[in-house]
Structure 1
């Protein structure tokens, strides 16, 4: 029933398949829209009901606070009764917020399913974005435009404000009564009662709001990503707006390399050796690399990059503004730490090879193979892999003789390449220069490189 599209070239765009039997798809689409409508109705009705019930229970608890404490006084201490009432209010708030988070997930996933089916049926609102906004289901063309948590100023946050607000109010009055009871018993607090009560009520509201927000984290969302986005906004560093969609596209590009049958083993081996020898040891950021970068920035050593493979990847995928070096680097470090936690090391390497720029307007391994070698080769040799990985850090089409020579010698010393393979590497550079793919600005740079290795 589902047939894979024949893609021109290597790129894949959502969706990558379509239905041949449209009647089945239309029936599924109708079912999905009904499910979405039902879930939205449940969410709104539950929101209204929870506000009414929460307000009623809060009013009841506050109105009978002293009476309840006096009733249970012969059995349990007065202070303990107040603490139990506060605990019940907070527990009710937590359970209610968890319920609303689950309902919002159901609404979001149903909306994403509707968009997927709509695109599979060939319907797109791409040219009507001025009329139908692409961040709402009415005009969205990709499912990740519908977010689990679209923001604190949207209807998704309203139940949180209501429930957390009621719980904070209950906490305020219960704590006030508790402090009054403690003071009447002769106990003096080190902090002013007003500050204590207001502070605890505010903390209750903040904790409940965070509980709700954490329950609505998307597949790859973590606290580290939220912190990086906040910092980027404060530092005026422009990031992508939809991280889930970008990761989805990078994953598609990675799978496309596998679909084409390209052996990525040699490229991954050379990538780790040349760009980040500590890749499998660090957690996204290398302290040694940062020290090297600082030393080269201060002119204390030869200029060299301090970015790990993970940092280079998040810079390529998520950061639009590449000019603000220091501010960008700070955000890049936070993003790298987050990305290393949510994406496996091997997947990072494959996303890197599928996404980064190998030459001007040449992104990804498949395009690079076509550009430099004329066709997509399934079996990538170590010399080809070395050539391509060296191009990643040299995207201005220039032949950097000293850098290539130093990197080759390091690869031979480490046992990654042998001397026969280095000869093939130099031959690849000579061919690229003849084809005009690399510029030998010296005019005799390739000759110097060949002589250096003949003498070696």
Structure 2
């Protein structure tokens, strides 16, 4: 093993601390793995004890209790079998919880080893802590997941539990066939609860049963997503920390961002149901048909007329900021539009909205979404469009940056920009001076080749803005 400190220069004191921590982590990881292996013997011992104990108690009860009161003998046997079943089940629950706890400790040690090896520039092949020669986590600790390896002791518990319950069910079937269905249901519930208990014990910090179901749904729909949520969110939080270190106040962007992308952001729980349904109707029924339907109602105050009119006036998509965050960071396959949309709706409502408050969602969105080709996050956007990080941006600069979110072609789209300006102007978030400043900002970006204008849309934008400013 060769140490190389040229890439990450550290002083001698830090180096000694890292090496000591690394040795302790290796020792702890080794001890945890040995304990997990030893749990197999514990499981076998508990299984033998439970079987022998159950047989002994059954023999004693058969000869001392059941035959003394013959009419109640079968009833007593039923309750006795239930008692044995649940007693053994609770022992399994305790063992499963301990196995899950040891599994988490073992993986945490391995993550720490990966991190310390990176700090010390030690070759990852020097020590093998990666499961089954998988080098994906060699430099990224979060790619080594809690659920990456299932301990053999846990598999044995499931197997022995299934065998034990099968024997009890056979005994019940021979004793009284009418009660077989109830005991079968109890056995299935016990078996499934052991699986759920283990899964709950090894959940990642930003993982839940909803996210597990979502991953299963993505496989059913054949839409590829990034399932290493912990790694992606950690990267986003690191970018957020960097933005705070640079004194970039993200709250300056909130009002304009919400006004442009998601007006009901603070009212919904990840998905805007009304807008989603409206977009769905608009996709199914062309605008000309909707307008024809509105003509049947002469009264413009009619609810049907208002609803149809609002649908025809909708511009843009129905995705909320939460949905856009999930799509930008976790969706891999963008071609399957409608199936992808199902995943966006599910994860936004049941995962992201449950883990992060509204402010955190906005911050994570700003530091992780795409502003232009190879320009990811607000920090990179500042450096690309303005050449530096502007700590106190003007409204015009904020608008220009946020407009890039919905434009992936690096061009200027006059009608789209004008619609946004008109909307912001109507709610008094910007004034005439801001609009003039926005035009100047676009002109500078076009001249610096940061934004392209192949169809001379900037002239159209100037004309639109002049009408808005001077109300022509």
TM over 0.5: same fold?
yes
Could you tell me how far apart the structure 1 residues matched to 2:147 and 2:347 are? 20
Higher helix share: 2
Could you tell me how far apart the structure 2 residues matched to 1:17 and 1:100 are? 39
Query: Structure 1 residue 199: deviation in Å?
Result: 5.0
Local SS of the residue matching 1:77: helix
Could you tell me how far apart the structure 2 residues matched to 1:51 and 1:417 are? 72
Local SS of the residue matching 1:358: strand
Picking from 142, 147, 150, the partner of 1:149 is: 147
Q: Give the structure 1 partner of residue 252 of structure 2.
A: 266
Picking from 433, 452, 455, the partner of 2:467 is: 452
Picking from 432, 443, 446, the partner of 1:430 is: 443
* Higher alpha-carbon Rg: 2
Could you tell me how far apart the structure 1 residues matched to 2:131 and 2:202 are? 26
- 1:288 equivalent to 2:303? Answer no
Q: How many residues align?
A: 427
- 1:165 equivalent to 2:164? Answer no
- Structure 2 alignment gaps of length 5 or more: 1-6, 70-74, 288-311
Structure 2 vs 1, CA of residues 289 and 132 (structure 1 numbering), >3 Å: closer, same or farther?
A: same
Structure 2 vs 1, CA of residues 202 and 32 (structure 1 numbering), >3 Å: closer, same or farther?
A: same
Contact 2:226/2:332 (<8 A) preserved: yes
Contact 2:8/2:120 (<8 A) preserved: no
- 1:254 equivalent to 2:240? Answer yes
Query: Structure 1 residue 136: deviation in Å?
Result: 5.8
Could you tell me how far apart the structure 1 residues matched to 2:188 and 2:18 are? 50
Picking from 365, 370, 376, the partner of 1:352 is: 365
Q: Normalising by the residue count of structure 2, what TM-score does the alignment of the two structures yield?
A: 0.83
Could you tell me how far apart the structure 2 residues matched to 1:24 and 1:307 are? 49
Picking from 210, 229, 239, the partner of 1:243 is: 229
- 1:35 equivalent to 2:50? Answer no
- Structure 1 alignment gaps of length 5 or more: 1-14
Structure 2 vs 1, CA of residues 317 and 45 (structure 1 numbering), >3 Å: closer, same or farther?
A: same
70-79 vs 216-225, which moves further: 70-79
Could you tell me how far apart the structure 2 residues matched to 1:214 and 1:367 are? 38
1:112-151 aligned within 5 A: 112-125=111-124, 135=134, 140-150=138-148
Could you tell me how far apart the structure 1 residues matched to 2:48 and 2:11 are? 50
Contact 2:215/2:227 (<8 A) preserved: no
- 1:376 equivalent to 2:389? Answer yes
Tell me the alpha carbon deviations over residues 281-308 of structure 1, each in whole angstroms, 9 at most, x when there is no partner. Answer: 2221111231132123223445531111
Q: Give the structure 2 partner of residue 9 of structure 1.
A: none
Could you tell me how far apart the structure 1 residues matched to 2:46 and 2:131 are? 37
Let me know the Cα RMSD of the aligned residues: 2.8
Query: Structure 1 residue 176: deviation in Å?
Result: 4.2
1:44-59 aligned within 5 A: 44-59=37-52
Any runs of at least 4 consecutive aligned residues in structure 1 with deviations exceeding 4 A, and if so which? 15-20, 72-76, 131-134, 178-183, 195-200
Q: Give the structure 1 partner of residue 297 of structure 2.
A: none
Could you tell me how far apart the structure 2 residues matched to 1:177 and 1:414 are? 75
Query: Structure 1 residue 325: deviation in Å?
Result: 0.4
- 1:87 equivalent to 2:102? Answer no
Could you tell me how far apart the structure 1 residues matched to 2:316 and 2:282 are? 6
Contact 1:165/1:205 (<8 A) preserved: no
Q: Give the structure 2 partner of residue 6 of structure 1.
A: none
